Structure 1
Amino acid sequence: MATSPTSDTPRTSATQPAPAAQSAHTPQPAHTAPPHPAAGTPMSHRQIMEALSGLLLGLFVAILSSTIVSNALPRILADIGGGQSAYTWVVTASLLAVTATTPIWGKLSDLFSKKLLIQLALVIYVAGSVVAGFSTSPGMLIGCRLIQGVGAGGLSALTQVIMAAMISPRERGRYSGYLGATFAVATVGGPLVGGVIVDSALGWRWCFYVGVPFAVIALIVLQKTLHLPVVKRKVTIDWAGAFFITAAVSLLMIWVSLAGQNYPWMSWQTYVMVPAALLLGAVFVYVESRAAQPIVPLRLFRNKTITLTSLASLFVGVAMFAGTVFLSQYFQLARGRTPTMSGIMTIPLIGGLFIASTVTGQVITRTGRWKAFLVSGGLLLTAGSATLGLIRYDTPYWQVAVYMALLGLGVGMMMQNLVLAVQNQVSVADLGAASSLVTFFRSLGGAVGVTALGAVLGNRVTHFVTDGLSALGVQGGGAGGGIPDVATLKQPVRGVVESAYGHGIGDVFLYAAPFALLAFVLVVFVKEVALKTRSGLEGAAGRD
C-alpha cells in the first residue's frame, strides 16, 4: 500500500513495520493473535470477540437503562406527577433523539475514529442517565431522556457500523446473533432489575444510576480491545440536514401527541402543523440533494433493496416499540402486577426475540440465505400484533404469553437481518451512512408510532373509564389525565380502571397490526443477493 492509515489508538505506530520483518518472527501462534489488525487483513475470531465484548457491553448499558425506565415509569410518574401524555413523551423523547442523531453518528463514523465516537456516545448516555436520577418533574426527566437518546443513537448506529467493518456479511449473521442475545438479555433484565429497585428501599432513582458501573467497564474494555484503522480525510458535516430532519420529526410528533386531547384531530392546529412538517421534510430532501456529504445520501435509495428494507424497518419500529412500551403498562395497570412481576411476565416476548436472533444468525452464516427469515419474521410480527389486539384485562396469561412470543420471534427475525440486507448492498465508503439509515427508520417508526399509539391509548382509556364509572352511577368520572396507582384504588373503581387499560392497550395493538403487515409485504419484494465474504476493513484495502 502506498499509504497506511493511522490507528484508533496511540499504541499503533504511525509507520507499520515491513511485512518481511514481521514474517521473520514466529508464524503467529493461535494464543497470541496480534492486537491490531493491519488494514485489509481479516480479523481472527479471537480479535473479533475481544472487540465485540466492549461493543456489546456498551449496547447492554443503553438497552438496560431504557428497559429499566419503561417498566418503572408508572411508579415514577405517580411520584413526580404526570399523565399518559408525559408517559408517552418520556419514552418518545429518547426515540426522537435517537432518530435525529443516528444518521449523524453514522456519517461521522465514515469520517472520524469509530472507537472515539462510540466512547463519546457512551459518555453522553451515562451523563444523561445520572442527571435523570435527580429529576423532580416530568419536564426535567424528558430533557434528560433527550440527552440519553443522543448517546443511544450513537451506540446503536456505531455498533452496527463497527461490526460491518470487522466482519464480512456472510459471517455477520453468526455475530449478529450475539447482538440479538445481548438485546434480549438486557431487555428482560432491565424490567426485572428495575422492578426490584422500584419495589425496594433504594427507590426509582437508582434505576438511572445502576448502569454507570457497567458503562465504566465498557469504556475500559473498548479502549483495550477495539483497534480499527482510521483514514484521515477532509470533513464536511451536514448541519443543515440535521436541523431540518430534527425539526420535521419533532413537529410531527408534537402534533400526534396533542391531537385528540388538547385539540381535535381536524382543527386549525392540524392544518398548520402537518403541512409545516411536510414542508420541513421537503426542505430536508432538497438540502440533502445539494450537500457535499449528506447525512442521508439520497442516491442510496436508487437501490431497490435499500428502499424496501428502510421502509420495512419504519413499520417494524412501530410494532416493536409498541410491544416494549405498552406491555409494561398492560401488566401493571390492567392486571395490577408489581413492576418486578411485570418484568417476569414479559419473558415470552424476550424469549422469542432471543431464540429468533441467535438461531437465524447461525443458520444464515451456514447457508448464506436470509430472505426467508425476513418473510417469516414479517408473518410472525403481524400475527403477534393482531393477536395482542385481542387481549383484555382478564385474558388468560398463557394466551398473552403465546401472543408475546409470536411478536418476539417476528422482531428477532427482522431487526438485524434488515440491517444485514442493506450492508450487503453498499460500498465501504457508504457503510456507516447505510447502516444508520435502517436504524434511523426503525427509530422514526418507533418514535412516531409510540406517540400516536400513546395518544390513542389516552383517548380510549378516558372513554372506557368514563363509561364504566357512569354505569356505576359516578358522574364526571374520567382518567383525569394521570397515571393511576392501581394498588390504591378500591373496588369497583379499580375494576373499571383495569378493564379500561386492558381494552385500550388491546386496541393499541390492533392499530399497530396493519403496520406489521406492511413490513411483511415490503420484504416479500426484496431481492435476495448472495452475502459478501469480505469485511469492511478488507474492502477498504481494495480487497472487496
Structure 2
Amino acid sequence: MTNPPQGAATPTDLTETAADTPQMTQREVLRSIAGVLASFFAAMLAATIVAIALPTIMDKLGGSQTDFNWVLSTTLLANAATTPIWGKMADLFNKKKLLQVGILIFILGSFLAGMAWSIPVLLAARVVQGIGMGGLTAMGMAVIGTVIAPRERGRYSGYFGAVMAVSTATGPLLGGFIVDSPLGWRWCFFFGIPISVLSLILIQKTLHLNHQKRTVRIDWGGALLLTVAVSTLLIWVSYVGKDEYFAFNSWQTYTMLGAVAVLTAALLLVESRVVEPIIPLKIIATRTTSLAILASVSIGVGMFGSGAFIGQYFQIAREATPTQAGLMTLPMIAGNYFGSVFSGQMITRYGRWKVYLVIGSLLNVAGLGLLGFMHHDTEYWILAIGMFLNGVGMGFMLQNLVLAVQNTVKVTDIGAASSSVAFFRSVGGSAGVAFLGAMLAAQVATLVSEGLERLGVNTSKGGAGGSLNLSGMPPAVRGVVESAYGEATGLVFLVSAAVAAVAFICILCIKEVPLRKTI
C-alpha cells in the first residue's frame, strides 16, 4: 500500500489498513478451528494417499517415472503458484468466504481426479486440486493468525502439525487399504470429499469474522509472471539431461533458464511498484521472514521428496503391497506427530521457539542422511530410525517457522506473510520432487541397463527403467528394476540431506523475538 502524503491518513486509507477481526468467544474459536483443521486434514490426506497409491495408478494408467513425478509436481506447482494470490486476497477480502471457496475448488479437483481415465486428465484434475489446496493452506494460516495471539498460537500451530502428522499417518494406511480393496484407487481421491463437506458446514456455523471492506487491488501481472516463471523452471528440471528430451548443454536449457531469469527480473520490478503485490518485497526482505523462506525452501525439498519416494521404494524395491508400504512409514508419522504436538505445547508454555527449530533442523539432516545409505536390502530398523528422526525434525520446524514470521508482522499482513512462507516451501517441494524424480529416473535407467546387460538382454533400444508397469515384466527383469530402485532411492535422500543442511544454517541466523501476547 502507498503511504499517505505527509503522514496524513485519509478515511479511505484507514479502511484499507483494517483487517478481519474475530467476533467470537473462546468456545467458538475452538469450534471454528476444528472446521479449519478438518479442511486442512482433507488436503493433506489427498497428498499422502496419492503418494502411496501412485505406483498402482501408474501401473493401471500406463504411466512412466516422469508421469509419476508430474502427478505430484503439478499439484505442488498449482499450490505454490496460487498460495500468494490466496494470501493477498486474505488481506483484502473476507477470509471465511475465501476459505470456503478454496474448499469447493478442492472438492471439484478431487472429484475430477477420481474420474480420470488417462494421465493427462489426471494431471489436469491435480492442478485444480492444487489450486484448492493453496486456498486451504493460506486461508487456514490466515484465520489462525487473525483470531489467536502469537503467544497462544504455538498450541494451535501444534494442532496443525498434529493434523499433518495424523493425515500423513492415515493417508498411506488408508491409501494402501483402498488400493488393495474392491473400491480401487479412484476412491483415494473421492475419500476426502465428505471430510471437506463437513469442514464447510463447521466453518459456516462457527467462524464469525467482522470483515472491514478495503479497496481491492489484485496484482494479476505479478501472479502471471510468478506462475510462468515457476512452471518454466519445473519443466526444465523435469526433462533436462534425458536422452529423449534435451541435454544440460543445449539451446532448450539456455532458452528456458534465460526465460526464468527475465521473468524473475520482471516480477521483482512489478512487485516493487504495484500497490498490493502478490509477493510483498518489504515483508519478505526482513531478516526473520527471508531466513524462514530460505529454510522453508530446503525443508520443502526433503518433506515432499521423502513422502513421494519412500512409499515407492517400499512397493517397488521391497515388493510391499500398498497397505504394507503404508505401515512401514509409521515411524516417520510417529516422529512427526510427537514433534508437532510437543513443540507446540512447549512454545505456548515457555514462549521460546528457536531452540525447537534448531533441534528440528539437525534431526532432519540426520534422518535424511541415514536414509541416504539405504539399498534394496537394508535392514528395516535402520530405515525406521531414519524415518523417525526425519519426522521429529519436520514436526519441530514446519508450523513453527510460520509462527516465527507471523510474530514479526502486522495483523494486516499476516495473510501475505504466512502465504509467502508456504509458497516458497511449496516451490521447494515442487522443484525437489521434479529434480529428485529426474535424478531417480536417470539413476534407475543406468542401473537397469547395467543389470539387463548382465542378464544378456540387448538394451540398445532402451530398457525398462522408465516404466512403472511392473506387473507386465518378466520375473528376471522385474528383479533388476526392483534392485535399481532400491539403490537409486538412497541417492535421492542423500541429496535431500545436503539440501536440508541449508535450513540449519538459516535457522541459526534467525533472531529470536519474544512472542506477542496480543493479536
- Corresponding position: 1:105 with 2:86: yes
RMSD of Structure 2 on Structure 1 (CA): 1.7
C-alpha contact 1:170 1:532 (8 A) present in aligned 2: yes
1:74-131 CA distance string (max 9 Å, x none): 1111111110110000000000001100000000010111000000000000101101
Give how far 1:429 is off.
Answer: 1.6
Give how far 1:478 is off.
Answer: 1.8
1:466-501 CA distance string (max 9 Å, x none): 11111122221622521132x665543333111100
**Structure 1 range deviating more: 262-271 or 282-291:** 262-271
One-letter code aligned to 2:313: Y
More helix by share: 2
One-letter code aligned to 1:359: F
C-alpha contact 1:117 1:154 (8 A) present in aligned 2: yes
Take 2:437 and 2:113, find their aligned partners in 1: how far apart are those partners? 22
| Partner in structure 1 of residue 195 of structure 2 | 214
Take 1:515 and 1:278, find their aligned partners in 2: how far apart are those partners? 22
Take 1:134 and 1:50, find their aligned partners in 2: how far apart are those partners? 33
| Partner in structure 2 of residue 281 of structure 1 | 264
| Residue from 450, 458, 481 that aligns with 2:466 | 481
Take 1:61 and 1:469, find their aligned partners in 2: how far apart are those partners? 43
| Partner in structure 1 of residue 513 of structure 2 | 529
**Aligned residue runs from structure 1 range 342-421, under 5 A:** 342-421=325-404
Q: Which of structures 1 and 2 has the bigger CA Rg?
A: 1
Q: 1:525 to 1:141 in 2, by over 3 A?
A: same
Take 1:466 and 1:119, find their aligned partners in 2: how far apart are those partners? 50
* DSSP 3-state at the match of 2:272: helix
* DSSP 3-state at the match of 2:518: coil
C-alpha contact 1:384 1:404 (8 A) present in aligned 2: yes
Take 1:445 and 1:515, find their aligned partners in 2: how far apart are those partners? 10
| Residue from 483, 495, 498 that aligns with 2:479 | 495
- Corresponding position: 1:450 with 2:449: no
C-alpha contact 2:176 2:324 (8 A) present in aligned 1: yes
- TM-score when normalising by structure 1: 0.90
Give how far 1:46 is off.
Answer: 2.0
Give how far 1:386 is off.
Answer: 1.0
Take 1:229 and 1:362, find their aligned partners in 2: how far apart are those partners? 29
C-alpha contact 1:194 1:339 (8 A) present in aligned 2: yes
Take 1:428 and 1:480, find their aligned partners in 2: how far apart are those partners? 51
- TM-score when normalising by structure 2: 0.94
Give how far 1:302 is off.
Answer: 3.5
| Residue from 53, 58, 61 that aligns with 1:80 | 61
Take 1:174 and 1:40, find their aligned partners in 2: how far apart are those partners? 18
| Partner in structure 1 of residue 101 of structure 2 | 120
| Partner in structure 2 of residue 132 of structure 1 | 113
C-alpha contact 1:461 1:479 (8 A) present in aligned 2: no
**Aligned residue runs from structure 1 range 4-15, under 5 A:** none
**Aligned residue runs from structure 1 range 63-212, under 5 A:** 63-212=44-193
Take 2:190 and 2:387, find their aligned partners in 1: how far apart are those partners? 29
One-letter code aligned to 1:414: M
Structure 1 segments of 4+ aligned residues over 6 angstroms from their partners: none
| Residue from 443, 455, 479 that aligns with 1:460 | 443
Unaligned residue ranges in structure 2 (runs of 5+):
1-10
1:350-399 CA distance string (max 9 Å, x none): 11110000000000001100001111111011111111110011001111
Take 1:379 and 1:272, find their aligned partners in 2: how far apart are those partners? 38
One-letter code aligned to 1:231: Q
Take 2:42 and 2:285, find their aligned partners in 1: how far apart are those partners? 36
One-letter code aligned to 1:305: T
In percent, how many aligned pairs have the same letter?
Answer: 50
Unaligned residue ranges in structure 1 (runs of 5+):
7-37, 536-544
Take 2:35 and 2:22, find their aligned partners in 1: how far apart are those partners? 22
| Partner in structure 2 of residue 432 of structure 1 | 415
Give how far 1:203 is off.
Answer: 1.3
Give how far 1:260 is off.
Answer: 1.3
| Residue from 318, 335, 340 that aligns with 2:301 | 318
* DSSP 3-state at the match of 2:31: helix
**Aligned residue runs from structure 1 range 252-331, under 5 A:** 252-261=233-242, 262-331=245-314
Take 1:156 and 1:44, find their aligned partners in 2: how far apart are those partners? 24
1:4-39 CA distance string (max 9 Å, x none): x99xxxxxxxxxxxxxxxxxxxxxxxxxxxxxxx95
Take 1:499 and 1:329, find their aligned partners in 2: how far apart are those partners? 13
Take 1:480 and 1:494, find their aligned partners in 2: how far apart are those partners? 10
Take 1:432 and 1:192, find their aligned partners in 2: how far apart are those partners? 33
One-letter code aligned to 1:417: N
C-alpha contact 1:94 1:149 (8 A) present in aligned 2: yes
C-alpha contact 1:463 1:478 (8 A) present in aligned 2: no
Take 1:494 and 1:218, find their aligned partners in 2: how far apart are those partners? 44
* DSSP 3-state at the match of 2:512: coil
One-letter code aligned to 1:334: A
How many residues are matched? 500
| Partner in structure 2 of residue 511 of structure 1 | 495
Take 2:465 and 2:42, find their aligned partners in 1: how far apart are those partners? 35
